[in-house]
Amino acid sequence: MDILPAYPAWLIEHGAALAVVLPLLTGAVCAVLRSERAAWIVTLIVTGACAVVSFGVLLTIFAGEVQIYEMGGWEPPYGIAYVIDGLNAPVLFLISAIAFIGTLYGIPSVTAEVEPGKRAPFYGAFLLCVAGLLGMVVTGDAFNVFVFLEVSSISTYVLVAMGASRDRRALAAACRYLILGSIGATLFVVGVGCLYMETGTLNMLDMSRILSEIGGGSRVALVGFGFIVIGLGLKLAMFPLHLWLPGAYAHAPSFVTVFLASTATKAALYLLLRFMFVVFDPSFEYDTAIITYVITTVAVAGMLLASLQAVYQTDARRTLAYSSIAQVGYMLLGIGMATAAGLSAGYLHLINHALIKGALFLALGAFWYRYGIMRVLDFRGLGQIMPWTMGAFTLGGLSLIGVPFTAGFVSKYNLAMAAAANGWWWAVGVIMAASVLAIIYMGRMLLVAYFQPPPEVDGEAVAKNEAPLLMLVPMWVLAGLSILIGINADWIVHAADGAAMVLTAGGGVRP
């Protein structure tokens, strides 16, 4: 905590608001800039500022504080408050840091994949997406969640569609995402309306207090809970509500895929945790039933069936897309246990998976940038042609599998231990089976890259041609963090335990 005094008091006090307002305002500025380089510089500065501010807020929360920022000086429930605690502070920093790292990567990637006249608006839409995700995470008002959910979603549809310059299928993927995302948002806001009808407030802390006083409420609250779970399930690609994700990840610009894979589903999962364990309470009969039976069932189905689908994909991006659906299943399995250890392990995997999948998609984007590679069969000889890029991809792949001394191993080990402590030995078997499937779909890419010769042009092997430095640095930062966590995970486990403490504060969760 020695670094905390270096932050001005006003910056910590207003940090949550600044992290949302800065990208929200500058997104409009970027959209009208004539120079794409100027738009990139503005985006880099703003995302860097958000990361710095979010880190200061995170350190404050680690020091034991809870921040409540009243927008406009209006006290809740009459005004909107931003609430920062151990549950959302790590996600706030995660989104900001990935946005900054991705922007570094963006200048060569966006130049190669987005039409010249659309690049400045592209950065504007990206900043709006960042603002929407950060707003979803920090707001303490349920309807404000919906507003920011729509800000992030609409800008994301635009970002995915801009991949049409490289692949026309991006338009169909964006349309599918728009339809399913709109359904999810509609279901969510209907659920919020039911809660408002039951409690008379939109402030999530007040909702929680009133629902506890009336023992979970009537059928109106039950219906609202169901709508919210399904709506957020669509947003986080919960199996089988995941149909938008493979196309969006496969055909969007590489920069967009990296950001979405690392942040969008994580923000939605955070909201699911917030509503299930803070607004509602696992002691409510209907909450317990949904967590124990529905969430656990879809988690196991997602882990196994999505992993099987990944095995049979020929496109590398779609392979990793289905892998992401399976990894969401791991996180949901921790939620389904409804124990402090399970929640901590699921939250830990949320953070670790963001780093792992970010590194993998960054490397895939570099493969396309140099050689137009998207198919698994085209990985031939990449270990020789692009050794540094393939090295980062390999570390990410090993971490995704769960090899010891990687971040993936840490979260999977903690999840397995939580399942064993809960008496769910069958869940340990499911974790192992899904990990074996990960060995298959990641292993075949690594085998092709390292054990098959590079393709030949005019009778000679393709020459070594590494990715640009602005691409290499971000991917190695994330790959390196994955190894660092595998060696010493105390600090990130501490963050996950802090999140679990917030979720278990109501007393409805077993230790």
Question: Does 75 reside within a domain?
Answer: no
Domain around 302: 281-511
Q: Which of 25, 280, 266, 256 is nearest to 131 (CA)?
A: 25
Q: What 3-state class would DSSP assign to 203? A: strand
DSSP 74: P
Give the pLDDT confidence of 357-373 residue by residue, as tens digits. 999 999 999 999 888 88
CB-based contacts of 92, cutoff 8 Å, min separation 6: 16, 19, 54, 57, 58, 84, 134, 137, 138
pLDDT at 157 over 60: yes
Residues 6+ apart with CB under 8 A from 115: 162, 165
Q: Quick one: 156 exposed, middle or buried, by C-beta within 10 A (0-12, 13-18, 19+)?
A: buried
Confidence of residue 134 (pLDDT cuts 50, 70, 90): very high
Q: In terms of DSSP H, where are the helices of 82-203?
A: 89-113, 119-138, 142-161, 169-199
User: 484 exposed, middle or buried (CB, 10 Å; 0-12, 13-18, 19+)?
Assistant: middle
Supply the pLDDT for residue 507.
47
pLDDT for the residue numbered 462: 67
Q: How far is CA 361 from CA 52, 95, 233, 379, 388, in A?
A: 24, 16, 23, 14, 15
Six-digit token pair at 454?
Answer: 């590079």
Among 65, 63, 56, which Cα is nearest to 14's? Answer: 56
Residue 463 lies in a domain: yes
Distance between CA atoms of residues 262 and 317, nearest Å: 14
- The total number of structural domains that make up the chain: 1
Burial class for 219, CB neighbours closer than 10 Å (0-12, 13-18, 19+): exposed
In a domain, 300, yes or no: yes
Residue 51 lies in a domain: no
Give the C-alpha separation, 100 to 46, whole Å: 8
Pairing mode, strands 81-84 and 456-457: unpaired
pTM: 0.92
pLDDT at 117 over 50: yes
Residue 190 within a domain: no
Has residue 242 been placed in a domain?
Answer: no
Across the chain, mean pLDDT equals 89
395 is a domain residue: yes
**What local confidence, expressed as pLDDT, does residue 272 receive?**
94
How many helices (DSSP H) and strands (DSSP E) are in the chain? 23, 4
Cα distances (Å, whole numbers) of residue 17 to 50, 132, 254, 383, 501:
10, 12, 29, 45, 24
Selected residue with higher pLDDT from 507 and 263? 263
What's the angle, vertex CA 213, arms to CA 209 and CA 218, rounded to 5? 105
**Residue 85 CA to chain centroid, in angstroms?**
18
* pLDDT, tens digit, 9 for 90 and up, residues 369-407: 888 888 888 888 888 888 999 999 999 999 999 999 999
Q: Is there a domain that residue 204 lies in?
A: no
Mean pLDDT value across residues 65-92: 84
pLDDT at site 328:
93
DSSP 8-class letter at 72: G
- Please report, for residues 56, 123, 152, the alpha-carbon distance to residue 53 in angstroms, rounded to integers and kept in the order given: 5, 21, 20
Upper half-sphere CA count for residue 127 (Cβ side, 13 Å)? 30
Q: What confidence score (pLDDT) does residue 508 get? A: 47
